[in-house]
Structure 1
Amino acid sequence: MKTLQHKFVEYIPDKIEEGILYISIEFTTAIHKCVCGCGNEVVTPLSPTDWKLVFNGESVSLGPSIGNWSFECKSHYWIVENKVRHAKKWDDEQISKGQTSDRKKKRDYFFGRLKK
């Protein structure tokens, strides 16, 4: 199982190193290189409708899972206590349903906030 180091930074560096999860609390963003080795940079915005970050004082977890659907590799994994846990590959139909669900959750969240 692959492990990522986490590094809290104010600004995301120009050069993203493999094996490091950079976290900017100020800019509510985490970024790392895809764990499959393809070299693509994976940006995970931290927000109520995107990813949540848990820091337990020693390690970090990022959820929900990371599905790199726009990459050729289509890698899918979780980061749990700095460890990469590979998830089941999704087919095109599952990806489409997941993206539709994500858009609906965002719409419902922001629409609900406007109604308050």
Structure 2
Amino acid sequence: MKRNRYVHQFAELIPEHLEQGVLYVSLTYSTTVHLCMCGCGHEVTNPLSPQQWKLIFDGRQVSLTPSVGSWGFDCESHYWLENGEVEWAPAWSRKRIAAGREATRRRIKEAIDDPPRRQPEPDSNTAKKSLWARTRSAVGRRT
């Protein structure tokens, strides 16, 4: 049975038996898991990362972006999970599916080949001074 709504459940570990209409979120493992919203019973896993899916939590509801395409299953379901509602999306052609998969692979490869740069550690003397002490020191240098 095709679903139009879902609820979320935060969990460190994903339960062994999943309930239909529940989006399980493991922040510990940066993953979401749910049963396909079409009702086919297939388990859908969405890794959370800047190159794959992003989870938005507004304090009450969660959303997942981009859309979920279950193209590896017979159902080939395609939908958005947004604020507790399943928004059904149009089917994609084989060509568009292949292009989407290739774009995702490219984003992941680029992130591995060129990881984000770490910000330099602040000067330990500056970091230990309070804002007030740094302000007094800066003002004192001007006079």
Structure 1-normalised TM-score? 0.94
Query: With CA pairs under 8 Å and 6+ residues apart, which has the higher RCO, 1 or 2?
Result: 1
- How many residue pairs get aligned? The number is 116
Give CA-to-partner distance per residue, 1:48-99, whole Å, 9 cap, x none.
1111001001100001111111000110111011111111100111111111
Cα distance in 2 between the residues matched to 1:23 and 1:73: 23
Structure 1 vs Structure 2: percent identity of aligned residues?
41
| Other structure's SS at 2:115 match | helix
Give the direction of change, closer, same or farther, for the CA distance of 1:111–1:59 in structure 2 (3 Å limit): same
Aligned to 1:15: 17
Aligned to 1:102: 104
Aligned to 1:49: 51
| Structure 1: 5+ residue stretches without partners | none
**What RMSD in Å do the two structures reach over aligned CA positions?**
1.6
Shift of 1:115: 8.4
Q: Which runs of 4 or more aligned residues in structure 1 lie more than 3 Å from their structure 2 counterparts after TM superposition?
A: none
Aligned to 1:59: 61
Aligned to 1:69: 71
| Structure 2: 5+ residue stretches without partners | 119-143
Cα distance in 2 between the residues matched to 1:35 and 1:55: 20
User: Comparing both structures, which one devotes a greater share of its residues to helix?
Assistant: 2
User: Comparing both structures, which one devotes a greater share of its residues to strand?
Assistant: 1
Shift of 1:28: 0.8
Cα distance in 2 between the residues matched to 1:115 and 1:59: 32
Aligned to 2:138: none
Greater CA radius of gyration, 1 or 2?
2
